[in-house]
């Protein structure tokens, strides 16, 4: 544990086109090996495809997808009396958003399709409508937390 004090909360910068922090978080999570320009291309192509597909604002689709995938409860592995238990814990809103973005990207990477922009746009539209792999992951996590409610006192 550090003795130097607490770290300051940094404000995420917004991206140049949509001027949105969530889009910037998505760009930083999708980026691999420092190739930010490629991440920008993927995100902007996905947003353009969402615009054409749904004929609505792609930012609202993105917000709705993240809102539907965001969870308030999760599970954490704890060692209790020699066995590992999945203990339910409450998740803050910022951590919930981070988890939602991670699940959306993982689900879109798993999807079959032509390229990442195509897969990401399809996953975002599906999540905004309440279906898709990311929504299934959220429901799975909530079910596991509900099933392990009896060990919640081990937090």
State the DSSP string of 69-84. Answer: H--SEEEEEEEETTEE
Tokens of 140: 């799975």
Q: What is the pLDDT of residues 34-48, one digit of tens each?
A: 999 999 999 999 999
What's the CATH number where 102 sits?
A: 1.10.455.10
Rounded to whole angstroms, the Cα distance separating 47 from 59 reads 8
Confidence (pLDDT) at 114? 86
Tell me if 80 is assigned to some domain. no
Tell me if 49 is assigned to some domain. yes
The whole-number average pLDDT for the span 83-91 is 87
Tell me if 2 is assigned to some domain. no
Paired with 35 in beta bridges are none
Rounded to whole angstroms, the Cα distance separating 122 from 54 reads 11
Q: 134 with 69: CB under 8 angstroms?
A: yes
Q: How many domains does the chain have?
A: 1
Confidence (pLDDT) at 57? 92
What pTM did the predictor assign? 0.85
């Amino acid at each position: 544990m550090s003795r130097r004090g607490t770290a300051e909360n940094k404000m995420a910068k917004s991206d140049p086109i949509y001027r949105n922090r969530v889009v910037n978080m998505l760009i930083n999570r999708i980026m691999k090996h420092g190739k930010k320009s490629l991440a920008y291309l993927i995100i902007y192509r996905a947003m353009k495809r969402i615009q054409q597909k749904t004929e609505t604002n792609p930012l609202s689709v993105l917000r709705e997808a993240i809102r539907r995938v965001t969870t308030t409860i999760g599970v954490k592995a704890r060692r209790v009396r020699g066995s590992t238990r999945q203990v339910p814990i409450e998740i803050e809103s910022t951590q919930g958003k981070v988890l939602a973005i991670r699940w959306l990207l993982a689900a879109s990477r798993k999807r079959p399709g032509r390229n990442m922009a195509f897969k990401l746009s399809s996953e975002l539209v599906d999540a905004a409508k309440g279906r898709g792999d990311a929504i299934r992951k959220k429901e799975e996590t909530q079910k596991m937390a509900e099933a392990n409610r009896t060990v919640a006192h081990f937090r």
